Structure 1
Amino acid sequence: MSLRKDRRALNRHVQLRLNFALLRCRNFQWSSEVERAARFIRKHAQGKRITLVETNEDPIVFSGISHTEFAEIVQSRVVQDVKRYGKVFFLDLDGDGARPVLHFGMTGNILIKGEEHLYYKEGPKKTDSTWPPRFSKFILHLSGTESTSGSETQIAFTDARRLGRIRLCKEPMKEPPISLLGFDPIQSMPDPDEFSRNVLRRSCPVKALLLDQSFSAGVGNWVADEILYHSHVHPEQRCNTLSSDQVAALYKNTSYVCQTAVSLDADPSKFPDNWLFNHRWGKGKKKHATPLKLPSGQPATIKWLKVGGRTSAFVTELQKVQSSHLNKDSGHVLHEGDEESSLTSLSDVEESARLPKRKVLSNLLGLLGNN
């Protein structure tokens, strides 16, 4: 009996550490994409009652609860709203019960039966009308209440790689994972002085700080590059070496890039022409009708390097750093043969995630799955 209790305690400890590692890991969709998903659900579910919950067992994605417990707690409740903070969103249901708190991870998505699927990259879109969809973790059946009307709505949460998380929280904004996050550039941008203090007291590369979810919740890899590009700051420059003008530019452009992307519903086809985003994919192999230009009108030179294991794109003419500021151990310029993630450009995928080694992680997941 004692051994069983110890094993359960160990499993809970491992799950908490793993969840925190996944939270701090930066290989996930970012806030504008999650905001887009939240709006998608709100449009089709707000004011409707959950009449049936279908679930598929997955002890990894369902965190701290079983799939059957999830179904029991959300059954028969009305969706009052859908809210987001950083890369996490939750369904605000009526009643005193816990709320579903959802995190997409790397490949998570929301699908609604009969509606066009959400996509997070440019290029051909494969339409699969199969229902129920593959890799679904739960499907909510919703019907109109006295204040709403319409036919039944079915909403599915899918996740092929099982790095997403489904939790239940009584007060989502006051409990992990949201309580562990830093400011949200859309909802809770700090004042300039607080932002400056929090940046200048760090000694890490500025790119690493922007990606740290305990600092800025929801900023992903390409978003950080975009912020640094508009701020004329090199991704490897150490935070405590930034000038006051550079910090002010970072503050301004963190808000600008995030607010703009959300206002455009995370649709890359609508992003401004002068954004680095439109030119950073493919390591310069993709030809663009309109090349990125410098303020002088001359073509910009885009280079790629790795900072803390992450691919970073920057413009050499605008983003310079003194050699004394370079972290010689953490970054190296990528050569033409190197490839950034072959997954979606908007899924913010990390090439070498700073999680435990794959074998160790596999063993941890296997241990959790056996209980």
Structure 2
Amino acid sequence: MPELAEVEKAANLIRDAAKGCKVVQVDTAEDSIVYTGITHTEFADELVGRTLLDTGRYGKVFYLTLSGDKRMPVLHLGMTGMLHMRGQDATYYRKKPKDDKDVWPPKFMKFILHFAPVDAEPDAPHIEIAFLDPRRLGRIRLCKDPLQEPPISALGFDPILCMPTLKDFQAKVEKRGCPIKALLLDQSFSAGVGNWIADEVLFHAAIHPEQVAKSLSQEQIKSLHHNITYVCQTAVDADADHNKFPSHWLFPHRWGKGKTKSTLKLPSGETASIKWITVGGRTSAVVQQVQKLSGNGDPKKKRKRVTKKEDDSDESSLTEMSEEDESDVPKKKAPAKRKKLTHSGLSQITASGLTLKGETKSPK
């Protein structure tokens, strides 16, 4: 799923394309799951006519700062959420059709923001940015003060924005009796760290994911503290483009669960032996020559599979999802009476009011 770096890229996309522009129109599709605490029409009504002042990110959540005293959009991409600017490619988990950028409105659209320069003529072309979510695990909210309200107010430290000092970090780690991988994935501990980032951090820190947090040595905690910042900042600096990641990273080798032979070279020149285990219900890649389990960790302890939270998918928008990877993703049962969302069910709100485009169809 999108993690810290990918969410930073999404926030930057909107900022770079539309900062200083006015929201002149909002198209929405009804979705009582993705829209949280609000309706799709309420969301659109609060945005139209306001100017984009900036965007921000905290953990895996990003938000838009708009002019005026109304609430601000607060967005979570969930497992497969993404942004799509008209005329450009969206970032998909699977290989997308070649003509996807020409299909508008895009499939799985939840809203489209239409931006125009403040002094633009009424018939000037719009900058259109859509929020898509195929699996409906993303969340769209409105908050008066995004940083002081849930979900952001309930999150832990952000490795880029407010990494704690080594002393404070050590104190947080030493009082936890869970596997270190599970701790890193806990968003109330380290906001923005997901499965691939946690694996990368632990590889560079030479720590086994099953190692009990409070059993780590001071040197291990120091290495962990350094590498959380290193991995997150490097991924952000690369604009979440895995082709720009360092060649010695685990990232390109951690997918597929052994279906392809490892080509990761260790500093010794030896080819890394990668093993896949489940820690806290999550698939974890372990380089056996580097990440040794010691202390209170028990490699023979039976690992129980647990249902993953919506924030904790194994997937990253930097890679395609293989069939094997999909087997780790919990399937949600559809509600008994679930409306089918179609493009004909879009609603459109402009400065002049609400216009319905056809009727939302529901199965008989």
- Residues 1:37 and 2:37 aligned together: no
CA contact (8 A) 2:314 2:328 kept: no
Match for residue 104 of structure 2? Answer: 131
**For the residues of structure 2 that align with 1:250 and 1:306, how far apart are their CA atoms?**
20
Query: Given the two structures, how large is their TM-score scaled by the length of structure 1?
Result: 0.81
CA contact (8 A) 1:311 1:351 kept: no
**For the residues of structure 2 that align with 1:117 and 1:187, how far apart are their CA atoms?**
27
The match for 2:35 among 62, 69, 72 is 62
**For the residues of structure 1 that align with 2:318 and 2:24, how far apart are their CA atoms?**
37
Q: CA deviation at 1:263?
A: 0.2
Unaligned segments of structure 1, at least 5 residues: 1-27, 333-339, 367-371
Q: CA deviation at 1:294?
A: 2.3
Match for residue 152 of structure 1? Answer: 126
Q: Residue type of the partner of 2:283?
A: T
Match for residue 275 of structure 2? Answer: 303
Match for residue 151 of structure 2? Answer: 177
Q: CA RMSD in A?
A: 2.8
Match for residue 248 of structure 1? Answer: 222
| Structure 1 counterpart SS, 2:110 | strand
**For the residues of structure 1 that align with 2:238 and 2:110, how far apart are their CA atoms?**
29
**For the residues of structure 2 that align with 1:229 and 1:91, how far apart are their CA atoms?**
35
**For the residues of structure 1 that align with 2:196 and 2:24, how far apart are their CA atoms?**
40
Match for residue 309 of structure 2? Answer: none
| Structure 2 counterpart SS, 1:58 | coil
Q: CA deviation at 1:319?
A: 0.5
Match for residue 7 of structure 1? Answer: none
| Structure 1 counterpart SS, 2:23 | strand
Query: Given the two structures, how large is their TM-score scaled by the length of structure 2?
Result: 0.82
**For the residues of structure 1 that align with 2:152 and 2:18, how far apart are their CA atoms?**
23
Aligned length: 325
Q: Which moved more, 1:141-150 or 1:256-265?
A: 141-150
| Structure 2 counterpart SS, 1:255 | helix
1:1-371 equivalences in 2 (<5 Å): 28-119=1-92, 126-128=98-100, 129-146=102-119, 151-287=125-261, 291-322=263-294, 324-326=296-298, 328-330=301-303, 346=319, 352=328, 358=332
Post-superposition CA distance 1:108-133 (Å, at most 9, x none) = 11111112323567x77744021011
**For the residues of structure 1 that align with 2:42 and 2:230, how far apart are their CA atoms?**
41
**For the residues of structure 1 that align with 2:189 and 2:236, how far apart are their CA atoms?**
19
Q: Residue type of the partner of 2:37?
A: G
Match for residue 369 of structure 1? Answer: none
**For the residues of structure 2 that align with 1:214 and 1:352, how far apart are their CA atoms?**
23
Post-superposition CA distance 1:147-189 (Å, at most 9, x none) = 9997311111111111110000000000000001111111110
Match for residue 351 of structure 2? Answer: none
